[in-house]
């Protein structure tokens, strides 16, 4: 059973950038809104589309439209985040983490970036050191089948919902959806080869 604490996992851009290899201007995820560990794990993430994005200088003059390939990239990065967070959760459980709060190292790190008083600095430093030693995890896309339903304009937040549905012979399959103001703007499936590189090891040995 997934705990409420896990389902409510919320991570800001500072922690997200520690978990993904992508940097500006190709960072397509700002926040993790929730993570649900289940037989088909699900991640909800988001990206705010600013009117000042560089791509709008040429896409298009007089009518700024967020490129569809950026929406696909955002869903893909969300899938990668799902795999990385799921791996961190499993490693923490292997090390004896509280089953009700297996992602506490990431939660605590987020507290630190938000200057919250209950941040545990020593544990946060240990988590940062482990993430710094972690090889950047990359994924190899093997298939994208996405239908665009409506355009995305600047000044909106794109919400991503991705679910890992199954894995066959090292290929992971995800159901993906992008949503703006409660309405889907893109929906489909994505497939990727198992992520190369060492998966994250976060959480102290006990």
Whether 59 is a known active-site residue: answer yes
The answer to whether the CB of 94 falls within 8 A of the CB of 200 is no
Distance CA 128, CA 123 (A): 9
Q: Which of 59, 101, 157, 193 is catalytic?
A: 59
Distance CA 154, CA 56 (A): 9
The answer to whether the CB of 99 falls within 8 A of the CB of 3 is yes
Say whether the peptide bond before residue 171 is cis (omega within 30 degrees of 0). no
Distance CA 74, CA 32 (A): 12
193 Cβ contact list (under 8 Å, min separation 6) = 139, 140, 141, 142, 170, 171, 172
Q: Give the DSSP letter of residue 11.
A: B
Read off the tokens for 89.
């959760």
First to last CA, the chain: 24
Distance CA 202, CA 126 (A): 9
Which residues are catalytic, by number?
59
């Amino acid at each position: 059973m997934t705990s409420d604490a896990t389902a409510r996992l919320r991570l800001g851009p500072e922690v997200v950038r520690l978990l993904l290899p992508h940097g500006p201007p190709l960072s397509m995820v700002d926040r993790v809104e929730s993570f649900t560990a289940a037989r088909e794990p699900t991640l909800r993430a988001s990206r705010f589309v600013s009117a000042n994005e560089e791509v709008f200088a040429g896409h298009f003059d007089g009518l700024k439209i967020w490129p569809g390939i950026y929406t696909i990239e955002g869903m893909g990065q969300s899938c990668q985040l799902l795999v990385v967070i799921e791996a961190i959760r499993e490693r923490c459980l292997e090390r004896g983490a509280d089953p009700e709060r297996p992602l506490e190292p990431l939660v605590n790190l987020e507290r630190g970036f938000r200057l919250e008083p209950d941040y545990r600095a020593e544990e946060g430093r240990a988590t940062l050191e482990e993430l710094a030693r972690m090889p950047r995890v990359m994924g190899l896309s093997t298939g994208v089948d996405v239908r665009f339903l409506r355009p995305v304009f600047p000044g909106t937040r794109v919400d991503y919902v991705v679910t890992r549905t199954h894995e066959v012979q090292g290929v992971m399959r995800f159901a993906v959806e992008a949503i703006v103001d409660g309405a889907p703007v893109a929906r489909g499936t994505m497939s990727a080869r198992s992520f190369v590189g060492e998966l994250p090891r976060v959480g102290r040995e006990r």
